[in-house]
Amino acid sequence: AISTFQGIARGGSGTFAARGLGFGIPSLRVDGNDYLAVHAVAKWAAERARNNLGPTLVEYVTYRAGAHSSSDDPSAYRPKTESDAWPLGDPVMRLKNHLIKLGVWSDERHAQAEAEILDTVIAAQKEAESHGTLHAGGKPSTREMFEGVFAEMPPHLRRQRQQAGV
């Protein structure tokens, strides 16, 4: 839920991960801003599932640095200094600094990688926009929403298409 206090969202005190224990589900609470921890726990949970060992509940503790959407204004409900007080830090910078300390990465390589990634994203955006944008009036018809999705359209979608009058 957007802007829901965690105590309300969880229904009480304690962590979200602790709730899994009551159902006999192995549960972990992980620093969601630590790439290595996130990767290790996700890999472990996936292996458990692949080996038919049941579900794993993972609570990733992280900080949403940006707005929920372009129409959201976090300054209306967050103090300006809130992110400075967040102890776990930016995950990209943490991984970068860790790799530099190991001697397998550098500021120069990081800047080069960032530039290459940005170029790739911009090229992908231009390619997507070459097919039209909603702002350019290229809004697809309601009919198109139902076409070319399934080899054989399921009955519930046929009914929805009929209800839409297309």
Identify the active-site residue in 10, 19, 60, 77. Answer: 77
77 is annotated as an active-site residue: yes
Identify the active-site residue in 64, 131, 135, 156. Answer: 64
Identify the active-site residue in 39, 68, 109, 143. Answer: 68
Which stretches of the chain are DSSP H helices? 6-10, 16-21, 35-50, 82-85, 91-102, 107-129, 155-164
DSSP 149: S
- Sole residue written with tokens 């692949």: 50
159 is annotated as an active-site residue: no
* Contact call for residues 45 and 53 (beta carbons, < 8 A): no
Q: Report the C-alpha gap between 84 and 107 in whole angstroms.
A: 23
* Contact call for residues 63 and 69 (beta carbons, < 8 A): no
Nearest to 96 by CA among 83, 107, 112: 107
64 is annotated as an active-site residue: yes
Q: Which residues are catalytic?
A: 64, 68, 77
